[in-house]
A = this chain, B = another copy of it.
Amino acid sequence: MEIAPAEIERVALAALRRAGVPEAPARQQVALLLEAELRGYPSHGLLRLPRIVERIANGVVDPESRGEAHWRGGALLAVDGRRGLGPVVALAALDTICERARETGLALAAIRDCDHLGMLAWYAEEVARRGQVLIALTISEALVHPFGGRRAMLGTNPVAIGVPAEPAPFVFDMATSIVAMGKIHDHAVRGEPIPAGWALDAAGNPTTDAAAAKQGALAPFGGAKGYGLALAFEVLVASLTACALGPEVRGTLDSEHPCNKGDVFIVVEPAAGMAQAITGFLDAVRASPPAESGRPVRVPGDRAAAARAAALGRAIAVAPAVWRRLLVLAGEVRDVAGDAAQDLARDEAGAGRAA
């Protein structure tokens, strides 16, 4: 279904309002989900909203919390998320450290116990547009097996880096798993096999059966190096935020547990006059000879920027089940037989594990 962004926003806001979310945080949460849709990452988009509402209903998310912050030293902000919505707690912390970094050169927010942050690229772009550098790290429930291991012991542990450049900032955002768990679910729903090397089954054996992989573990990207990086990020985030680690992380995928993962933002003032030089370098990389003629070299963020430019001002494709569920949550359609929820269960399972 194709829906105008303004209409999506109206319905999503109504759904959050009905769940008890005040106006300002609701707008932050919806802006984030809409941006994910615009950039072509529906796994981090509207599909997430029903789970957020469910988590609020279950009392594991407090829609009025912005977290409690205190300075641990002049440049390190320790934030207890107090079960707040991810973007709400994160943006409050980010505003505080961005301001502080203007005086101190850099500042860090060590956040724990707030809900899922969503797409990290959004924060990176926001900060880089304001002229500062952002390094963002977060962890998730254990979904990824160690290199040479069989059991899910690590989160998908994404990293995002935003750097001011002209005319648009450089934005990089990736998970350290070889692929999102959502992609495994996509394949399972469509009954398609997954490529060898993506995942293990519940017993820890390699599998190309997507249904079996859903019960198992994802591979880290890039073999031993990618595994090392994912592990280093998890240990780093835990050391700074005092959050849970590995199989003890909860609440990034389910609707029952308070979220006990950690997030780290580092904001830095760039050296003067580098935005132009960086743009020149990125253009040189894009203009360098491609491996296949006709397929120019791309720079991280190029695809998302193109998707966003193409989508802007247009209607957005939303899965019918997702849209119906949003309408139900907004109180605009009655869910007589619970069929909207059922239709959605399949899609949601995919997105929920796309953390």
A21-53, CB < 8 A from B: none
Question: Are A149 and B290 also in contact (CB < 8 A) when A221-B222, A246-B284 are?
Answer: yes
Minimal beta-carbon separation of A150 from chain B (angstroms): 4
CA–CA, A242 and B270, complex, Å: 8
- Residue from B241, B277, B291, B292 within 8 A of A245 (CB atoms): B277
- Residue A118 CB within 8 A of the other chain: no
Please encode chain A, from 145 to 167, with 1 for each CB lying within 8 Å of some chain B CB and 0 for all others: 11111110110000101011100
- Residue A253 CB within 8 A of the other chain: no
How many chain A residues touch the partner (CB < 8 A)? 82
Stretch at the interface among A106-114, A330-338, A341-349: A106-114
Stretch at the interface among A4-12, A188-196, A208-216, A293-301: A293-301
CB-CB < 8 A to A282: which residues of B? 235
CB-CB < 8 A to A298: which residues of B? 148
Stretch at the interface among A225-233, A311-319, A320-328: A225-233
What is the total number of copies of this protein in its complex?
2
CA–CA, A229 and B285, complex, Å: 14
CB pair B239 A271 closer than 8 Å: yes
Chain B CB within 10 Å — which of A270, A291, A299 has the most? A291
- Residue from B146, B165, B228, B300 within 8 A of A172 (CB atoms): B228
Minimal beta-carbon separation of A214 from chain B (angstroms): 19
Minimal beta-carbon separation of A145 from chain B (angstroms): 8
Top 9 nearest A-B pairs (CB, nearest first) are A76-B105, A222-B222, A73-B105, A242-B271, A172-B232, A228-B300, A245-B281, A149-B297, A161-B232
Contacts A149-B289, A239-B278 given; 10 further ones with Cβ under 8 A? A76-B106, A106-B266, A133-B239, A146-B288, A148-B290, A148-B292, A161-B235, A161-B236, A172-B231, A242-B272
- A sample of 22 cross-chain residue pairs with beta-carbon separation below 8 angstroms, ordered by A number, consists of A72-B105, A76-B106, A76-B269, A104-B104, A108-B268, A133-B240, A148-B290, A148-B292, A153-B284, A153-B285, A154-B285, A159-B229, A163-B239, A204-B289, A221-B226, A222-B223, A225-B226, A226-B226, A238-B277, A239-B270, A239-B275, A266-B266
